[in-house]
Amino acid sequence: MLLGFDNGFVITNIFGENNVFKDSVIENIIYQPLDYRITMTVLTICNVINPPKKWTEWDVVALNIDFFGVRELKTNINHAIIHVGKINIIKESNNYILEILEENRSSIWAKFTIARIQRVTPIKHDIKL
């Protein structure tokens, strides 16, 4: 699940071995072709096992993820809200391939060199994922 992440332990420390992408929503995607980077914000309702001491309450946790060394990006987005149905990351020689599929046939496919969790933020408000 966290193949290609240089700091995947951040997710493991907070959520354990749970799949944080299950039933999550991609809130924002920013593609920066001059930097070969994708910045993605994922909202998850995954069960928090070890919350940081600063966290008091939350409904949703926002994960800000950067994918570096992006050489290819293919998207097919049919809806404003992308509910993650299935996510795969595989290694291909010196790169990783990210594939996100959604129930309504939206998809994101990217070839990247390394990914990094930049921020994990608790959010308390009434939103439905």
Domain coordinates in residue numbering, the chain: 9-123
- Residue 48: strand, helix, or coil: coil
pLDDT confidence of residue 128: 64
The model's pTM is: 0.90
What is the maximal distance between C-alpha atoms in the chain?
43
pLDDT confidence of residue 127: 61
More confident position, 2 or 30: 30
Q: Does the pLDDT of residue 7 top 70, yes or no?
A: yes
- DSSP state at residue 79: S
Q: How would residue 70 be classed by pLDDT, with cut points 50, 70 and 90?
A: very high
Give the C-alpha distances (Å, rounded to integers) separating 18 from 1, 22, 50, 61, 114.
10, 9, 12, 14, 21
The rounded mean pLDDT for the chain is 91
- The one-letter amino acid at 2: L
Separation between Cα atoms, residue 67 and residue 2, nearest integer Å: 12
